[in-house]
Amino acid sequence: MTRPTNRTVPTQRLYRRGVHATLPWTAVVLAGGRAARLGGQAKPQLEVGGRSMLAAVLEATAGATARVVVGPPQPVPRGVVVVREQPPGGGPVTALRAGLAVVRTDVVAVLAGDLPFLTAELVDRLRAELSGDGVLVVDDGGRDQLLLGVWRTAALRAAVGAASGPTSVRRVIAGLDVRRLRPQVPQGQPPPWLDCDTPADLARARAAARDIRPVQE
């Protein structure tokens, strides 16, 4: 759903695609909770392809002005800020609110911490495609990937701040002007939205990491 178009011409120019591609930006990575279906382990710390899933996401966002991990204390590279949502385990909207509270840039990438095949190229493309309030990835099944997008910080912060009681990210962004991006996945490459919620997901991701083919130029 998009909000009615009632912006002035100068504002529309400010929001056109490409404007935010070179601006400072922050990556907020939601990496909290324990995965009950994965033995209760800290899911972002599970390894796929020889590195933790969280490490893969942080590597894909190495070009950010700042990187914020929301979740319990866990190994992160130097310079990455770790914050905790309150109450702990309060869900993605609560975690998003905690992450946004420390963002100081006008652009923010909001990402799940269990995306082992996320790439810097996709994050950069999302930044380049940002228009309106935000842009998020739609997978090959037509589903919005709510934790794989780039946003104007002010718009997302206002939407999260207006939410009350238990709610979902989908409901939070329902009133925002959101662009959808359907990236093409090269043959032989796992999709960047592949996450790991179950043992079967994790096994599939690990198998995919072993079978990755080099991208042909």
Q: What is the pTM of this model?
A: 0.86
Query: For position 128, what pLDDT does the model report?
Result: 95
Q: What's the pLDDT tens digit per position in 33-80?
A: 655 555 556 788 888 999 999 999 999 999 999 999 999 988 899 999
Q: What angle do CA 110, 93, 119 make, to 5 degrees?
A: 20
Q: What's the pLDDT tens digit per position in 171-200?
A: 999 999 999 999 998 887 899 999 888 888
Per-residue pLDDT at 150 exceeds 60 = yes
Query: For position 157, what pLDDT does the model report?
Result: 97
Interatomic CA distance for residues 134 and 2, integer angstroms:
11
Q: Which residue has the tokens 């950010």?
A: 64
CB contact set of 71 (below 8 Å; sequence gap of 6+): 30, 31, 32, 33, 42, 44, 82, 84, 85, 95, 113
Interatomic CA distance for residues 27 and 104, integer angstroms:
11
Structural domain spans, the chain: 9-211
What values do phi and psi take at 30, rounded to 5? -85, 110
* Architecture per CATH, 9-211: Alpha-Beta Complex (3.90)
